[in-house]
């Protein structure tokens, strides 16, 4: 076999390199350290498809002191796994069971007086002050309080005994476009909102910087930075930084067959063998995270060689044109990874399909894919 896999290797899996992840987090936390900011590693969407609990634990061993989740359910899953570090949840419906979040010491984002009252009521029932972060919309026009409503929100928060205002925060729209004028404009609006919070008698932390701003705008680090995609080794800006992609997507050859010239391959027979050739069948398709739009446009690595995937990507499988190479059943197939072995990267897939690498890796959260961790997983007190 030219690229043998272990006999126990599943049909398709994502391999998560915890050592690379910890190193990435250490690099990013080191940048924050220079400005005196703490680091919140974002592990929403099941850790961007890498596994929220395992990535959260690894982040906390590598210099992060906070974790970020999208929903209260995600935050409570971290608590259920024994993680006690500060966790922020920032996108929930008003009908959510905030009492469970308050009881579990989850920090909760608030962007309206209605949400503030809902959380305060839940805190009153629990008999415990809710830890909240007031979010101001500085120009992304997504979540966050409108500037016109902000004075009323901070005033009511300051007067509500059942809540503790831990921070004010916002999110940047174009941080990955270095020099975009909206970045400084949002920073000015954020500063104005912060001053209004101080005037209302609050003494909150400030956090604004995502991965891109952490790397390129140290003036916006404030008290806390929130790296997400960069922690997983995918750099959102064209600035050299020693980060390594954490996820590798691999499979094994299920079947090989020799086809004569002139044979069509896969649905629609969109590709025809131009010569006698060996076709390798790989049991990973669009149900496993391989975009169908990569049909006829992607390559994989088998035995150290880049080889074209031919014909249409199917729900469960792809076909690889191996020419006269001695590929055999059971050989390892690298679909994407860090690029160390010449394999495509998640960024390459994203570029080919007109999307971003965030979508590629989060798309690997699939029922049929096994997730395997390497790089010395650690059990830590969190």
pLDDT over 90 at 238, yes or no: no
What CATH number has the domain bearing residue 328? 2.40.37.10
DSSP 83: -
Distance CA 132, CA 204 (A): 10
In a domain, 239, yes or no: no
Q: How many domains does the chain have?
A: 2
Residue 105 to residue 88: CA distance in whole angstroms: 10
The domain boundary, picked from 193, 209, 232, lies at: 232
Specify the pLDDT at position 376: 76
pLDDT digits 0-9 by tens, 182-231:
999 999 999 999 999 999 999 999 999 999 999 999 999 999 999 999 99
In the predicted model, is pLDDT for residue 36 greater than 90? yes
Q: Are residues 253 and 228 in the same domain?
A: no
Of 44, 48, 194, 286, which is the active-site residue?
Answer: 44
Q: Do residues 185 and 258 both lie within one domain?
A: no
Domain stop point among 183, 202, 232: 232
Residues 113, 258, single domain; the answer is: no
pLDDT at 380 over 50: no
Please indicate, yes or no, if residue 382 is contained in any of the structural domains.
Answer: no
pLDDT surpasses 70 at 8: no
Name the band, by pLDDT with cuts 50, 70 and 90, for residue 382: very low
Question: Which one of 128, 135, 194, 267 is the catalytic residue?
Answer: 267
Does 212 share its domain with 284? no
73 within a domain of the structure (yes/no): yes
CA atoms within 13 Å, Cβ hemisphere of 217: 28
Q: What is the DSSP track for 56-79?
A: HHHHHHTT--EEEESSHHHHHHHH
Residue 44: active-site member: yes
Same domain flag for 33 and 91:
yes
In terms of residue numbers, what domain contains 68? 18-232
Whether the CB-CB separation of 368 and 377 falls below 8 Å is answered with no
The answer to whether residue 48 is catalytic is no
Cα 250 from Cα 245, distance rounded (Å): 14
Rounded to 5 degrees, φ, ψ at 269 are 50, 45
Task: Determine, yes or no, domain membership for 33.
Answer: yes
**For the domain that residue 58 is a member of, what is the CATH number?**
3.20.20.10
The last residue of a domain, from among 202, 232, 262 = 232
Alpha-carbon distances of 346 from 83, 203, 227, 334, rounded to whole Å:
29, 42, 18, 12
Quick: pLDDT tens for 273-323.
999 999 999 999 999 999 999 999 999 999 999 999 999 999 999 999 999
- Residues 128 and 160 both lie in one domain: yes
Residue 275 domain flag:
yes
| Residue 4 included in any domain | no
Domain co-membership, 121 together with 191: yes
Supply the DSSP symbol for 31.
H
- Is the per-residue pLDDT at 381 higher than 50? no
pLDDT band at 27 (very low <50, low <70, confident <90, very high): very high
The reply to whether 156 falls in a domain is yes
- Residues 169 and 275 grouped into a single domain: no
Check pLDDT > 70 for residue 63. yes
Same domain membership, residue 260 and residue 179: no
Asked if 149 and 279 sit in the same domain, the reply is no
Decide if 27 is inside a domain. yes
DSSP code for 129: P
Confidence of residue 95 (pLDDT cuts 50, 70, 90): confident
Q: In 3-state terms, what secondary structure has residue 362?
A: helix
Per-residue model confidence as pLDDT tens digits over 148-175: 999 999 999 999 999 999 999 999 999 9
204: left (phi over 0), alpha (psi -120 to 50) or beta: beta
Same domain, residue pair 58 and 199: yes
HEC string for 209-278: CCHHHHHHCHHHCCCEECCCHHHHCCCCCCCCCCCCCCEEEEEECCEEEEECCCCEECHHHCEECCCCEE
Clarify whether residues 222 and 316 are in a common domain.
Answer: no
pTM value is 0.94
């Amino acid at each position: 076999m030219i690229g043998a896999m272990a006999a126990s290797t599943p049909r398709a899996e994502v391999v998560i390199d915890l050592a690379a992840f910890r190193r990435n987090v250490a690099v990013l936390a080191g940048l924050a350290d220079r400005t005196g900011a703490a680091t919140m590693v974002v592990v929403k969407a099941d850790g961007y498809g890498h596994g929220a609990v395992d990535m959260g634990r690894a982040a906390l061993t590598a210099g992060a002191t906070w974790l970020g989740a999208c929903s209260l359910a995600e935050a409570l899953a971290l608590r259920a796994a024994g993680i006690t570090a500060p966790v922020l949840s920032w996108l929930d419906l008003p009908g959510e069971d905030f009492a469970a979040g308050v009881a579990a010491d989850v920090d909760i984002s608030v962007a309206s007086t209605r949400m503030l009252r809902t959380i305060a009521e839940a805190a009153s029932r629990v008999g415990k002050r809710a830890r909240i972060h007031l979010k101001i919309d500085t120009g992304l026009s997504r979540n966050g309080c409108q500037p016109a409503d902000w004075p009323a929100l901070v005033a009511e928060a300051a007067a509500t005994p059942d809540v503790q205002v831990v921070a004010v925060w916002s999110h940047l729209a174009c941080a990955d476009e270095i020099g975009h004028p909206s970045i400084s404009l949002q920073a000015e609006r954020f500063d104005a909102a912060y001053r209004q919070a101080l005037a209302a008698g609050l003494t909150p932390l400030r956090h604004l910087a995502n991965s891109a701003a952490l790397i390129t705008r140290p003036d916006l680090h404030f008290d806390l930075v929130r790296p997400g995609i960069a922690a997983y080794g995918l750099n959102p800006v064209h600035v050299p930084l020693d980060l390594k992609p954490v996820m590798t997507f691999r499979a094994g050859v299920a079947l090989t067959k020799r086809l004569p010239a002139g044979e069509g391959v896969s649905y629609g027979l969109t590709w025809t063998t131009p010569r006698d050739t060996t076709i390798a069948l790989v049991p990973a398709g669009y149900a496993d995270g391989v975009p169908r739009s990569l049909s006829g446009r992607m390559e994989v690595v088998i035995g150290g060689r880049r080889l074209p995937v031919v014909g249409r990507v199917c729900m469960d499988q792809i076909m690889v044109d191996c020419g006269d190479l001695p590929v055999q059943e059971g050989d390892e197939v690298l679909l994407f990874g860090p690029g160390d072995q010449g394999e495509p990267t998640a960024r390459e897939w994203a570029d080919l399909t007109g999307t971003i690498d965030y979508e590629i890796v989060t798309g690997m959260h699939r029922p049929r894919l096994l997730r395997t961790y390497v790089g010395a997983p650690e059990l830590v007190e969190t």
